[in-house]
Amino acid sequence: MHVGEKNKKLLFIFLLLLSLVTTKLLDNNHLSINAASTERVSPVDEPPEDPDDLHNALATAPRGLDISDPTFQRGFFTKVGSSENMNASKVIKRNDSDPADNTRILRVTHRTYQLGSIWSNIDQSNFLDISKDQTMSMWLYFGRPINPDNPKEVGDGMAFVLQNAQDDPTNIQNPLGGIRAISRFKGNPAPGQTLGVWGADMDNDKSNYVKPYGILPTAIQNSFAIEFDTFLNVLNKYQDISGEGVSFDYRFPRFGKPINGQHINMDYPDGTEADKSFDSDGPETYMPFSSSDVGGTKNYYMMNHNNLVDGLSLTDSKWHHMTVKFNHSTSTLSYTFDDKDNTTGTSIPNPISKSIKLDMSHFKLSGNKLRWGFTGSTGKYMENNLIVFESIPSFVSADSNTKIKDNTKNKVLTSTDKHVDSGDDLSFIYDLNYKNGSKDWSDILAKMNLPEQVTFTSGTIHYEDGSSEVIPLKEYSNNQVKHLLGKSLSNNMNHAQIELHTTVNMVDSQTKVPSTHVKFESDNFIIDDDNQDFIIDIPEMMISARSLVNIDDSSMDQIPDQIPINGDVWYTNGNSIVPSNVTLHANMGSYNNEFQLTKYNGTKATFDFDIPKTELIKGQNILTVYATDNVGRQTGKVQIVFTVAGNLEFGNFDRMVFFENVKQNQSDVFIKRQNGWHMEIIDGRSIGRSWTLQAKATDLIDETNGHKFNGNIVYRCADGFVHSLSNYQSIFSNTKNIEDTQKIDVASKWTDDSGILLQSGKSNSPGAYTGTIFWSLVDGLPNS
């Protein structure tokens, strides 16, 4: 054996033994590390390591903003001496198969050993304006442990970051700022427990652990962060301190209880004045400690976690909502976490909430624009970190307010005064207020849920400029009104008020009605709100009323001349009622009717009357019925809604039509139509209704001499098949597929060689021949 070969073999054995010893130490101490090597970073477009969880995230993602335009910028950071961007973040579509879905999702990480960042683009008016109150909201997703048997093998998390980092060549640890800002050690990006924003605890030499702490220049400079930490880094023994950053979450017993699992914390990543000066007694971001063994001493940093919320379950494969607010007058930053239900969007009581007064001088701003964004990281373990943005303050700053007004009692419902009666007229009122922004709040889709205990009758929207629009009854379905606002809100149009008119349904006993949810959403701003809950009481006097004829969506010609209505009136305490003491009131548009009751049925007074068909109009008709007695008691108001559809009728139909001239020697040919044939059918009925147009034709006669034309008017199909029109022949059918009135010009569907044509026989004498085509419009499809 050569000496060189022997040395190689010994080196191999030595490395093998070292590996075994390291593994044994970890096994014996039951410790784990999610530390990250800066030599391993997955390319941004490599496939996800947990595709099933990523699919779940996209499938359950709420609607969010379109962040595909340059209002956000991917961070750009490289290793020293390399030009390859190590940023793992990427903007992806929620639904690739739906071109109309504009929700874009920021995927921060999706594999092990990754760093990701995205930043607001100040040049595109995306920034936190510190001179104004600001609100932003978003949904966060933290993935899951790939192996459910090892729930702690997941990490590392994400951070919401405010920063004004600038390029600084004198900072050899982290010389780059702006969108290139990231945690660095000796100029190289530092993943793992840094989450991409905190300092990198990778040099355990004692000289780095005195003030000003050597970890401070490795963090993003001039920054503040709210971290969502999914992996506990709690190693503090000499043999475990590896120069990879493993100790931030360790806490000595004398400093309080150990941090309980996944947690949220907020602080200054590049340190407070207490980190930088012996003269300051304020809270420090970091705290240095050391661990000794026979091999010497290693130093490490713990984070103080000055604003800790722990014991959380973040990696549960669910979306978590967060709202961040900045109060410019007090420089207070606050957040609420898990403040909305991840399936319904409704508010959740008692969410996690924290606030802190920011030291604005820490950011070293020269103006009012502060960059914001997200960073995230993984190490040996991974998670799918994703974000859906819901509102961005510099785009649109707006809010909504809801209230319910009982018009019958002339009061607005509150948490202490929320009783209504059956039959009361309730208005659900929503005020949309545009405060400021660089973009219009456009294409606002209002999704307004109503309780099942009310009946929606109509809706209106009033804009600040005095204009208004009607919300039709057809936009109400399954206890929800869904309406796309016709106008945008902007700096020039600050306010819109939506009012939904409803009637409280009759109930048999006092009924508690829960709050219902409302959502106003567009591609650049989304906001949720909730209606006041209320209680339906039973009035002293009750009424029921019904129509004996179902005319819903019937056309006028299908409705009988008289519409019979009947019902009952009674006292809720069971007392006898005297019909002659009861007056019935019925009104609908210009129709008003009052009369005393005369009929009695046990404990109830009964009534019946007819409404003339002539009182109805096309569209929605609301009949309101209520009763009063001789001592001032009144029932609630019952409303019966009649929806009268439009008719099926002929529209623009040309009375005089012509064929092209026939040459005397033309025979056995089809003569084309001249221009000017219009056969329009108007269908104002409901969607799904059908009709058929039929035609028959007489012979053509020269009225000057009585000669009959040798040929016939026929109907020729597109496939060339010819139908005689000696009797009624079906020539076109249609089933209505839109809600609005549908107009179809049947003649426009024909080609020069199809439709109604003139079929010439043998030669004809010169002359002008005329005849008649009879048209029949049939309600329905022809028999097969």
At 446, which CATH number? 2.60.40.740
Residues 466 and 448 in one domain: yes
Binning pLDDT at 50, 70 and 90, where does residue 550 land?
confident
- Contact of 197 with 220, CB cutoff 8 Å: yes
Average pLDDT, stretch 529-539? 94
Q: Greater confidence, 368 or 23?
A: 368
Rounded-to-integer distance, Cα 691 and Cα 651, Å:
14
Residue 148 has a CB neighbour count (10 Å cut-off) of 8
Lowest mean pLDDT among 100-104, 275-279, 382-386, 412-416: 275-279
Q: Are residues 533 and 610 in the same domain?
A: no
560 lies in some domain: yes
Kindly state the average pLDDT of the residues 660-672.
80
87 and 217 belong to one structural domain: yes
Mean pLDDT confidence for 216-236: 97
Question: How many CA atoms, within 13 angstroms, populate the side-chain half-sphere of residue 271?
Answer: 22
Question: Nearest-CA neighbor of 263 among 307, 320, 220, 225?
Answer: 307
**Is residue 12 in a domain?**
no
Q: What is the CATH number of the domain that holds 677?
A: 2.60.40
Tens digits of residue pLDDT in 197-222: 999 999 887 777 777 789 999 999 99
- Stated as kind and residue range, the H or E segment containing 59 is helix 51-60
Same domain, 253 and 333: yes
Domain end marker among 498, 514, 537: 537
* Helix, strand, coil content of the chain in percent (nearest 5): 10, 40, 50
Its pTM stands at: 0.72
Question: Are 468 and 529 in the same domain?
Answer: yes
| Shared-domain flag, residues 326 and 452 | no
From start to end of 559-683, where are the E strands?
Answer: 562-571, 582-588, 591-596, 599-601, 604-612, 619-629, 638-645, 648-653, 669-671, 679-683
DSSP states of 509-547 as a string? S-EEE---EEEEE-SS-EEEEEPPPEEEEPPSEEEEEEE
pLDDT value for 341: 94
Q: Are 73 and 37 in contact (CB under 8 A)?
A: no
Distance CA(470)–CA(498), nearest Å, equals 10
Q: Are residues 184 and 331 in the same domain?
A: yes
Whether residues 172 and 187 fall in one domain: yes
CB-based burial of residue 218 (10 Å sphere; 0-12 exposed, 13-18 middle, 19+ buried)?
Answer: buried
Query: What pLDDT, on a 0 to 100 scale, did the predictor assign at position 69?
Result: 74
Q: DSSP secondary structure string, 759-771? A: EE-S---SS-EE-
Please report where in the chains the tokens 């001349």 appear, as a residue: 561
| Alpha-carbon Rg for the chain in angstroms | 38
Q: What is the CATH number of the domain that holds 574?
A: 2.60.40.10
Residue after which a domain boundary falls, among 489, 511, 537: 537
Are 685 and 736 a contacting pair, CB within 8 Å?
yes
Distance CA(315)–CA(389), nearest Å, equals 19
Whether 45 is covered by a domain: the verdict is: no
pLDDT of residue 480: 97
In this prediction, residues 639-662 reach a mean pLDDT of 87
Q: What is the pLDDT of residue 105?
A: 96
What integer best gives the mean pLDDT of the chain? 89
State mean pLDDT over 373-382. 95
Tell whether 9 is covered by a domain.
Answer: no
What would the pLDDT profile of 562-607 be if each residue is shown by its tens digit?
999 999 999 988 888 999 999 999 999 999 999 999 888 778 999 9
Domain with 576 in it:
541-645
Average pLDDT of the residues in 341-355: 93
**How far apart, in whole angstroms, are the C-alpha atoms of residue 366 and residue 378?**
34
Q: What percent of the chain lies above the pLDDT cut of 70? A: 93
Picking from 334, 366, 391, the residue at the C-terminal end of a domain is 391
Query: Measured at the alpha carbon of residue 617, what is the angle toward residues 616 and 618, in degrees to the nearest 5?
Result: 130
pLDDT at 14 over 70: no
293 residue type, one letter? D
Closest-CA residue to 274 (of 283, 266, 265): 283
Q: Are 205 and 98 in contact (CB under 8 A)?
A: no
Q: Are 220 and 163 in contact (CB under 8 A)?
A: yes
Q: How confident is the model at residue 664 (pLDDT cuts 50, 70, 90)?
A: low
Calculate what percentage of the chain has a pLDDT beyond 90.
Answer: 71
212 prior amide bond cis, ω within 30: yes
Q: Which residues pair with 431 in a beta bridge?
A: 401, 497
**Model pLDDT, residue 398:** 93
Q: How many folded domains does the chain comprise?
A: 4
- The answer, yes or no, to whether residue 12 has pLDDT greater than 50, is no
User: Tell me: the pLDDT tens digits for 477-511?
Assistant: 999 999 999 999 999 999 999 999 999 998 888 99
The pLDDT value recorded for residue 618 is 82
Contact 127, 370 (CB under 8 A): yes
Separation of alpha carbons 309 and 296, rounded Å: 36
Mean pLDDT on 524-541: 94
Provide the 10 A C-beta neighbour count for residue 227.
28
Do 237 and 88 sit in the same domain of this protein? yes
Average pLDDT value for residue range 342-360:
94
Is the Cβ–Cβ distance between 542 and 570 less than 8 Å? yes
Residue 196 lies in a domain: yes
Tell whether 67 and 104 lie within a shared domain: yes
β-partners of residue 291 are: 298
Residue 778 in tokens: 């049939």
Which contiguous run of DSSP H or E holds residue 55?
A: helix 51-60
pLDDT of residue 28: 27
Q: Using the predicted structure, report yes or no on whether residue 648 has a pLDDT greater than 60.
A: yes
Same domain, 406 and 339: no
Task: Please indicate, yes or no, if residue 44 is contained in any of the structural domains.
Answer: no
Q: In whole angstroms, give the CA distance from residue 632 to residue 643.
A: 33
What average pLDDT does range 314-340 have in this prediction? 97
User: For residues 460 and 465, what is the distance between their CA atoms, to the nearest angstrom?
Assistant: 15
| pLDDT exceeds 90 at position 162 | yes
- Please, what is the end-to-end C-alpha distance for the chain in angstroms? 96
Which tens digit of pLDDT belongs to each residue from 29-55?
Answer: 233 446 544 444 456 888 999 999 999
Shared domain check, 370 and 237: yes
Contact, 226 vs 159, CB < 8 A?
A: yes
The model's pLDDT over 116-143, given as tens digits with 9 standing for 90+, comes to 999 999 999 899 999 999 999 999 999 9
Give the model's pLDDT for residue 208.
Answer: 73
CB under 8 Å to 217, separation ≥6 — which residues?
171, 172, 173, 174, 199, 270
Establish if 503 belongs to a structural domain.
yes
Q: Which of 476, 444, 440, 441 is nearest to 459 (CA)?
A: 476
pLDDT at 26: 30
The model's pLDDT over 260-272, given as tens digits with 9 standing for 90+, comes to 999 999 999 999 8
Does position 16 have pLDDT exceeding 50, yes or no? no
Residue 558 lies in a domain: yes
| Residue 256's CATH number | 2.60.120.200
